[in-house]
A = this chain, B = another copy of it.
Amino acid sequence: SWMVALSQGLGITMVILMGVWLNTYMGGFAWDGSGKEFNLHPLCMICGMVFLYGEAALVYRVFRQTEKLKAKIIHASLLLLAFIAIVVGLVAVFQFHHKMHITNMYSLHSWFGMITVLLFCLQFLLGFLSFLLPGARPSIRSFYLPLHQFFGGGILTLAVISVISGINEKLFFKYKGTGYSKLPASAVIANVCGLVTIGFVLTILYI
């Protein structure tokens, strides 16, 4: 349907805007503990925790004719990829903080972010145990399914909160004093990326 097309357009735009912002305006990427390594944090988080996650949430609704087991394997594989991106994104910011001698886990952004990631891991484990392992009893599956769906949407919402607060604080860091308020191109791109992100998530939750 056109809603699915819209979601895909928004999702790709979101990832491209984030990539262009970090690559062209924020110094690009590297794995050296510097600000370039930090840049992998927002990129990996938006790819894993929003884009791949959102695609995985769509699988059952878009491929309705597909065999159930096949759909499950696609769902779980996309989320496994998401998990890998998330781990890389977290290692990047923790290594950056370590090298710069900055304390970990102080900001409200990082608290929300960590809660989001922990709930994601729990959902992954429970989803795997209940739906993919052949041994799980049907009664467990039907008890857990509505919870899995409710938390599926909830975790995605928490991920948006993390993304928006993250972009917002990074722009305040980068443009100290009144720099952000002059809205240079870089700030506009990142702000628009934030708006596109909520658009993507809204279409996913709606479909």
Q: Contact residues of A with B, CB < 8 Å?
A: 102-103, 106-109, 111-112, 154, 157-158, 160-161, 164-165, 167-169, 171-173, 178, 180-183, 187, 190-191, 194-195, 198, 202
Contacts and interface: CB of A to CB of B under 8 A. Distances in A.
Contact of A106 (B154, B160, B181): B181
Given A160-B161, A165-B168, A168-B169, A183 B106 contact: yes
A202 B102 CA distance: 32
20 contacts: A102-B178, A102-B181, A103-B178, A103-B183, A106-B187, A107-B171, A107-B172, A107-B191, A108-B164, A108-B168, A108-B194, A109-B168, A157-B157, A158-B198, A161-B164, A164-B165, A168-B169, A169-B172, A172-B172, A172-B173
Contacts of A161: 160-161, 164-165, 198
Contacts of A180: 106-107
Contacts of A154: 202
A106 to B, nearest CB: 4
A108 B167 contact: yes
Nearest to A111: B191
Contacts of A187: 106
B102 A168 contact: no
B182 A108 contact: no
A190 B180 CA distance: 23
B106 A164 contact: no
A127 B181 CA distance: 35
Nearest to A179: B106
A206 to B, nearest CB: 8
Give the residue among A106, A190, A195 with the most B Cβ atoms within 10 A. A106
A44 to B, nearest CB: 20
A198 B178 CA distance: 30
Nearest to A102: B181
A168 B103 contact: no
